[in-house]
A = this chain, B = another copy of it.
Amino acid sequence: MKEVQALVFDVFGTVVDWRSGVARWLGPFLAAHGRGDLDPFALADAWRRRYQPAMEEVRSGRRPFTRLDVLHRENLELVLREHGMDPGRMAEADLDDLNRAWHRLDPWPDVLLGLHRLKRRFFIAPLSNGNILLLANMAKRAGLPWDAILGAEPVRAYKPQPEAYLRTADILALPPGRLCLVAAHNGDLAAARAAGLATAFIPRPTEHGPGQKIDLAPEQAWDWVAEDFVDLAAQLGA
């Protein structure tokens, strides 16, 4: 455990509150298009439900690597149609701006302080399925002090495929055991552990809203379990 040199972070859910953030930008969009009757949180959930199936097309090899902004945009159009709206009749700039809601998500309250402390002792980077521009715009807006923007795009593989973790370790010139994945999702951590990474679990019990049922607690004996990023920094002596 002592030899961890780099901390790599899941982002959607672990670092940022995607559901509230996406709903915040969906609300005015729906109102402007005459659909103020729709619940923006329900649409955010519907948009997110299409996230894993879209990446699965790439993981399975049925589709070449395609960055997340493109998948998000395709999924947005499907969700709008599913709710009786016609994206073909909307301005391209409006759709692109809404798609970039994912670039403008806010971090959970403990994140900035925790990351600034962790950065003093470790190399810190996102290991997210988000693309470089999405993660970089998010960091610039929110002040996330990453040392580099890593994730699916530089390694051309989506988590939880082992290549996503192993090629990230290769970029950092470290054996996998010198990286620790920090995530709020037991499944992501299980895949990281199978690839040889150390693991740290942080619960985010309202990621999916007030009725969340999953990922409320650790499901394996992860190397660290912390309340939030500040607690993790304290546990790691940072």
Contacts and interface: CB of A to CB of B under 8 A. Distances in A.
Contacts of A135: 148
Interface string A39-73: 00000000000000000000000000000010000
Given A149-B149, A153-B154, A133 B173 contact: yes
Interface of A: 69, 123, 125, 131-133, 135-137, 139-140, 147-150, 153-154, 171-173
A69 B136 contact: no
21 contacts: A69-B173, A123-B136, A123-B137, A123-B140, A125-B136, A131-B171, A132-B148, A132-B150, A132-B154, A132-B171, A133-B148, A133-B171, A133-B173, A136-B147, A139-B147, A140-B147, A148-B148, A148-B149, A153-B154, A153-B171, A154-B154
A114 to B, nearest CB: 17
Main secondary structure of the interface of A (DSSP, over half): helix
Nearest to A172: B133
Nearest to A100: B173
Contacts of A69: 173
Contacts of A123: 136-137, 140
Nearest to A67: B171
Contacts of A125: 136
Given A123-B140, A133-B148, 13 more contacts: A69-B173, A123-B136, A125-B136, A132-B148, A132-B150, A132-B154, A133-B171, A135-B148, A136-B147, A136-B148, A140-B147, A149-B149, A154-B154
